[in-house]
Amino acid sequence: MDSTLKQTLVDAIRNIPDYPKPGVMFRDITTLLGNARAFRRAVDELVHPYAGGKVDKVAGIEARGFIIGGAMAHQLSSGFVPIRKKGKLPHDTVSIAYSLEYGVDEMEMHRDAIVPGDKVILVDDLIATGGTAEGAVKLLQQMGADIVSACFIIDLPDLGGRKKLEALGVNVRTLIAFEGH
């Protein structure tokens, strides 16, 4: 990826200091989503390695993963699978508990969303500690998905999430990285 694209993406992201708690720099991608050029370039770059290949589904993690994942699925002519917080899907679901920084939560997807052997790309806006993404990977694997890659616009490498996914044998693709929290 060229440095011009990286700078376009970095410039399109709003940085909010001390949110949600003191010492944290929140990386807000809503400004990137609202910038047509930056949003298009981010989606194009995330899709590029998989264009022309076989991707059956793109699975997006609630909520920003829905936006990015829907755009990617459209470009790849793939189906889209929402991975949601427990209790938000209306049909028969399968769920998994996953660790958060300060506790445990659950996510779910429709039981019929993935057919064993489906080639799936997992998507969210950012990978930090990796707890949510790790839970989503395990949920997809439990359903028999062949995870092609986990894609994120932002990586916070100091928090170790990428390494967690790679330890599960998942290829991780990110576009930009920010040091710190």
Catalytic site residues? 64, 101
Cα 170 to Cα 37, 49, 112, 136, distances in angstroms: 29, 15, 23, 12
Helices (H), 2-122: 3-12, 30-33, 36-47, 64-76
Element at 135 (helix H, strand E): helix 131-142
**Please, what is the Cα angle at 172 between 156 and 135, to 5 degrees?**
80
Whether 170 contacts 3, CB under 8 Å? no
Cα 178 from Cα 106, distance rounded (Å): 27
**Please, what is the Cα angle at 81 between 77 and 82, to 5 degrees?**
135
